Amino acid sequence: MPDDTSKPANEGHHDRLWGKVPVRPDEGRFLAGPESRISEVARAFRIFLECLKGFRALHFLSPCVTVFGSARFKEDNPYYAMARDVGRLLAQRGFAVMTGGGPGIMEAANRGAKEGGGFSVGCNIELPHEQSCNPYLDRWVDFRYFFVRKVMLVKYSYAFVLMPGGFGTLDEMFETATLIQTGKIERFPLVLMGTEYWGDLVDFMEARMVAAGTIAELDVDRFMITDSPEEAVEHIHKVAVERFGLVWKRQPKPTWVLGEKRMGETSAWKQAVQAHSRD
């Protein structure tokens, strides 16, 4: 029998496994082409319900920053420490921190948010890989469809921090950049953490893509690249307050009829905004 005494005291409902769900046969059929009308309508209804679940679960979320990054980094990795610092500093500025809810960079950012006294959120995707969920979450939402999960990771955020990662991180990075480029979302900050890791990619965008005319120089300029968590969070806070005019306001009261719950206090955001206005 495994020894549960080593688990964090606040783990509670997080002791299930992150993404420990076998791939459903119908998921392979989803992108395989047309099916019967009944099957397509039933799937569309399931997608609608999953969107609704996300909207209801995150409706009372305070101003949020999403942190993307690899699930493969361990605690002794320098990028883990960097993400942890980012999460802590964001929380101290009053932002909720949202991640994919899993291990690695996601755990580090959520952990830092908890250490900074902030609110920590995870949007999980159901995968066949047995990866332990991180125990540093105040709210946890499971999603079956990748695209629904990505909507939630973007919808509630005023900035996006991109730690080193793999295909999933690149997908999230360029999809968010495309939404900004095409005007689907506002010009929220895109912060690349790790100059050594991301430097070649930024050089490629400038030397190849801009030169070929496939993107504009402005598209590259939207990325801030740094090794400093302090610099990154200061930039995010400045843009949130000055460009988007974020100010403190009380959250709407939950409606018990809809099964709504308040998502923690946001006094840290009030203090952060008040402090900024005095500077």
Q: Render pLDDT for 170-228 as a digit per residue (tens, 0 to 9).
A: 999 999 999 999 999 999 999 999 999 999 999 999 999 999 999 999 999 999 999 99
User: Which structural domain, as residue segments, surrounds residue 95?
Assistant: 48-278
CATH number, domain with residue 181 = 3.40.50.450
pLDDT at 14 over 80: no
Structural domains of the chain, count = 1
Predicted local confidence at residue 125, as pLDDT:
82
Predicted local confidence at residue 266, as pLDDT:
47
Q: 101 and 110 in contact (C-beta within 8 Å)?
A: yes
Residue 9 located in a structural domain: no
Q: What's the first-to-final CA gap in the chain, in angstroms? A: 56
Residue 1 located in a structural domain: no
Residue 97 located in a structural domain: yes
Residue 22 located in a structural domain: no
Residue 36 located in a structural domain: no
Residue 170 located in a structural domain: yes
Residues 6+ apart with CB under 8 A from 56: 258, 259, 260
What average pLDDT does this structure show over 85-106?
Answer: 95
Residue 223 located in a structural domain: yes
61 vs 11: which has the higher pLDDT: 61
pLDDT at 88 over 80: yes
Per the document, the length of the chain is 279
Least confident of 49-63, 139-153, 257-271: 257-271
User: Which pTM value belongs to this model?
Assistant: 0.81
Cα 199 to Cα 79, 196, 227, 273: the distances in Å are: 15, 5, 11, 33
For residue 272 the two structure tokens come to 């952060």
Residue 239 located in a structural domain: yes
Average pLDDT across the chain, whole number: 83
DSSP conformational letter for 118: -
Predicted local confidence at residue 59, as pLDDT:
85
